[in-house]
Chains A and B, each alone.
Chain A
């Protein structure tokens, strides 16, 4: 079972004198869940993922934060000294920047993560072959990562994080630029990973979340406007339309 995520008393400012992004924020994500964090642009979704992954440490040199982040019982400050990888993995919004740009094949791109972890060649080869198969990338293994379609690139970006077997997997707007088919494939992939991995992803529309998540949080200006299960979210959806675009959705 993936770890639970408990955030208490989180206050976060980019600069000491700036308006807080989060103020005494608290949230609880059950272990093994697939949690969607929804909300409009500027709600604090990406910053929240950066805090959970520990990336805020190197990102915001002048940031000021208080509170605690507890992942699977292990407590951290909101700005730890370094990223929490490989325990926590974050897939960035744009797969083209997630892909390193220094490797010429999908296989070696995924291997790059394991090299960083100091893994020996034999162990790496086995793991990479396995992840290529799980992510239906075997036939693309020798292709250049930048010569793939958007959906394929997204799968490579995800595989390059999942290969390190993070207990908590974070994805920033993963379905943003995907067509309907690629989105469905991604949703299936994420469902296969759970419940061994707790998954938290962000989005600004509820469509992909409804296909994928079993837990929903609606964030607005650094505060939770809604928190609940899929059924509860569906019931509340009409009252949340000021924050979520639901036009044209078949609910």
Chain B
């Protein structure tokens, strides 16, 4: 199985992919800070993972997400290590949607982002509950406290908090990646294995001429 995964990853990152995955990791580590700097009340720290998923593929996105969290831990935010399963799922899920053509039209990107947010909330809830006891020292703690004070269990409260913030965050992330990819010149786009993931049938016809 390990050999198969490696082969899949190698295939996805053929050509420009390897440095691009590295760039996506660096982007994950800086875009969240940039969003915080601009006082945007969203995480926006998985843009690189989703970008890798769309332009390279799911395995590259899993690697990008996981390494982002490991490096974030190494750079002074140890809590990120616990959320590796969440970013791995985000990578796999967005890679799957990209392959199914969900990044070709905005009206598929929005429900895709909402679905991604729900999936992320489901995966992160047990981690936030059992490792962090529902407290992350962030603004979202107020929501967890509210849900717990009205009689929900810790896991339920963390999950409700997740579904109240993650779908918005992931939908905005998906839309940003969609807009960025659609504005990329075709000559750059076709250098990636997943370049076709953002091209509509009409655009593909204009390239291939039939």
Contact = CB atoms under 8 A, between A and B. Distances in A.
A14 B191 CA distance: 11
Contacts of B15: 58-59, 61
B190 A17 contact: no
B174 to A, nearest CB: 25
Contacts of A58: 14-16, 191
B38 to A, nearest CB: 29
A52 B190 CA distance: 20
Given A58-B14, A58-B15, A15 B207 contact: yes
A16 B14 contact: no
A15 B15 CA distance: 18
A62 B207 contact: yes
A73 to B, nearest CB: 29
Nearest to A59: B191
Interface in A54-71: 58-62
Contacts of B186: 15
B190 A16 contact: no
Interface residues on A, range: 10 to 19
B193 to A, nearest CB: 8
Interface residues of B, number: 13
A16 B195 contact: no
B39 interface: no
A80 B210 CA distance: 25
A61 B191 contact: yes
A17 B208 contact: yes
Nearest to A15: B207
A17 B14 contact: no
B209 interface: yes
Contact of A17 (B16, B187, B191, B207): B207
B190 A62 contact: yes
B191 A16 contact: no
Contacts of B206: 17
Nearest to A58: B15
Nearest to B205: A17
Contacts of A61: 15, 190-191, 195
Contacts of A60: 190-191
B208 A16 contact: yes
Nearest to A60: B190
A15 B208 contact: yes
Interface string A7-47: 00000001111100000000000000000000000000000
Given A61-B195, A62-B207, A62-B208, A14 B14 contact: no
Interface string B167-210: 00000000000000000001100110001000000000011111
A146 to B, nearest CB: 15
Given A15-B207, A17-B208, 13 more contacts: A15-B186, A15-B190, A16-B210, A17-B206, A17-B209, A58-B14, A59-B191, A60-B190, A60-B191, A61-B15, A61-B190, A61-B195, A62-B208
18 contacts: A14-B187, A14-B190, A15-B186, A15-B208, A15-B209, A16-B207, A16-B208, A16-B210, A17-B208, A18-B207, A58-B16, A59-B15, A59-B191, A60-B191, A61-B15, A61-B191, A61-B195, A62-B208
Please name the 7 residue pairs, one residue from A and one from B, whose CB atoms are nearest each other, closest first: A17-B209, A58-B15, A16-B209, A15-B207, A62-B190, A16-B208, A61-B190
Interface of A: 14-18, 58-62
Interface of B: 14-16, 186-187, 190-191, 195, 206-210
